[in-house]
Structure 1
Amino acid sequence: MKVIYRKAVPDDAPACIVLRGRTRENAFSAEQLRAVGVTLESWRSGIADDTLPGYVALADGVLAGYCFGARDTGEIVVLALLPDYEGRGIGKTLLGLMVAQFKAMGLERLFLGCSSNPAVRSYGFYRHLGWRPTGAVDGLGDEVLEYVP
């Protein structure tokens, strides 16, 4: 399997929305995304104007995963991966690319919302990579983790 990582482009948005609904944990359908204000148009626009920069991973030409962040706040908004590509370092690489970009932009603190349930994969994933709990909870009920690059 050949994996290519590259900056996301606006034309990636439709496939990103579909992939988001196919993840193993924390899947969101297009309708659920729309209900929280994420639409195809908003995703494309965020990529185009670089307020929502991100990276995609293509495995043998197929979108396998992606990671996007909010440029103005340093929030890692989403890291999503198809189940068939878990455990191969793709998610770690995507997150690393986003962290490196934010660090190069001068952001001194990054954060994200993560399940507080230790049985959920993301709980251990982020902590293993150095993300630390802040004690705060976001509007979706997720624990806020931070990372200082």
Structure 2
Amino acid sequence: MTYREANIYDVKQIQIVRHSVKENILSNLDRVTDDDCEEFLFRRGKGWVCEVDGLIVGFAIADLKDNNIWALFLKPEFEGRGIGRHLHNLMLDWYFATGKEKVWLGTSPNTRAEKFYRKLGWTEKGLDSDNEIKFEMTSEDWLRKKREIHS
């Protein structure tokens, strides 16, 4: 497995991963375009990918403009291998290194993603307008969580 920053040539494979998920499925595949991916990857924030045998199997994208996690997705057959956690950690290390104090994300209730974020120390802040659970992580919480991991 190789982890690296996403580049412009990754957008097509990122879209393949996004369309392969079994939870948090897009109701309309045209809702997230290649242009949207480029916007969030290169103008609003940054992203990372995990490659296996030259194919992207997971990605994560943080948005500095709206202070949120825009995406963290894996191909279903690669879940449970620590890839999501590694992408998550790379993304949050970068995000908080920019000086930001907190970040949020939304995910559907009763999903593996909900359990994943709870396990990683995100704090639930209620439901958003799409009836997704809104989670928040502060830089202080992130530093504390990292200390726990390394002790």
Amino acid at match of 2:85: K
Q: Which residue number in structure 2 is paired with residue 146 of structure 1?
A: 136
Distance 2:17 2:101 in 1: 30
The alpha carbon displacement at 1:33 in A equals 4.0
Distance 2:22 2:100 in 1: 31
Alignment of 1:34 onto 2:34: no
**Aligned Cα root-mean-square deviation (Å):** 1.5
Q: Which residue number in structure 2 is paired with residue 96 of structure 1?
A: 89
Match for 1:113 among 106, 112, 120?
106
Amino acid at match of 2:136: E
Match for 1:81 among 62, 74, 88?
74
Aligned positions, number? 139
More helix by share: 2
Distance 1:110 1:46 in 2: 15
What TM-score, normalized by structure 2, do the two folds share? 0.85
Task: For residues 95-136 of structure 1, give each alpha carbon's deviation from its aligned partner in whole angstroms, at most 9, with x where no partner exists.
Answer: 11110011100111111002222xx1111110000001012x
Amino acid at match of 1:5: Y
Distance 1:52 1:15 in 2: 18
- Structure 1 runs (4+) deviating above 3 angstroms are none
Task: For residues 59-86 of structure 1, give each alpha carbon's deviation from its aligned partner in whole angstroms, at most 9, with x where no partner exists.
Answer: 1211110001111232011110011111
The answer for unaligned runs of 5 or more in structure 1 is: none
Q: Which residue number in structure 2 is paired with residue 72 of structure 1?
A: 65
The answer for unaligned runs of 5 or more in structure 2 is: 140-151
Q: Which residue number in structure 2 is paired with residue 48 of structure 1?
A: 42
Distance 1:48 1:108 in 2: 21
Distance 1:116 1:62 in 2: 30
Identical amino acids, percent of aligned pairs: 33
